[in-house]
Amino acid sequence: MTTIEACLFDLDGVVVDTAKYHFIAWKALAEELGFEFTLEDNERLKGVSRMQSLEILLEIGGLQFPEQEKLAMAEKKNTLYVSYIEKMTPEETLPGVEQFLQELRDNGIKIGLGSASKNAPMILDRIQLTHLFDVVVDGNSISEAKPNPEVFLKGAEKLKVLPEYCVVFEDAIAGIEAAQHANMFSIGIGDPETLGFADLVIPGFDGFTVSKFKSAFGEMTIENHTDT
Quick one: which of 7, 13, 153, 195 contacts Mg ion (CB under 5 A)?
13
Q: What amino acid is encoded at 151 in this protein? A: V
Site for ligand BG6 in 85-114 (CB under 6 A): none
Q: Are 58 and 121 in contact (CB under 8 A)?
A: no
Residue 172: HSE in the Cβ half-sphere, 13 Å Cα cutoff: 26
185-189 vs 166-170, strand pairing mode: parallel
Helix (H) or strand (E) holding 22: helix 19-33
Is 12 among the residues that bind ligand BG6 (CB under 6 A)? yes
C-beta of 210: minimal distance to ligand BG6 in Å? 25
Is 171 among the residues that bind Mg ion (CB under 5 A)? yes
Quick one: which of 7, 104, 116, 195 contacts ligand BG6 (CB under 6 A)?
116
C-beta of 121: minimal distance to ligand BG6 in Å? 10
- Omega prior to 192 cis, within 30 of 0: no
Site for Mg ion in 31-90 (CB under 5 A): 47
C-beta of 173: minimal distance to ligand BG6 in Å? 11
Q: Output the CA torsion 205→210→213→214 (10° steps).
A: 180
C-beta of 46: minimal distance to Mg ion in Å? 6
> How many CB atoms within 10 Å of residue 57?
24
Quick one: which of 118, 158, 160, 214 contacts ligand BG6 (CB under 6 A)?
118
Residue 15: phi and psi, rounded to 5, are: -95, -40
Is 172 among the residues that bind Mg ion (CB under 5 A)? yes
Site for ligand BG6 in 131-160 (CB under 6 A): 139
- Among the residue ranges 39-47, 162-170, 202-210, 218-226, the one whose residues contact ligand BG6 (CB under 6 A): 39-47
Distance CA 46, CA 96 (A): 21
Annotation says 12 is catalytic: yes
Largest CA distance in the chain: 57
Distance CA 7, CA 100 (A): 11
Active site residues: 10, 12
- What is the contact surface with Mg ion in residues (CB under 5 A)? 10, 12-13, 47, 171-172
Binding site for ligand BG6 (CB under 6 A): 11-12, 22, 45-50, 53, 78, 115-119, 139
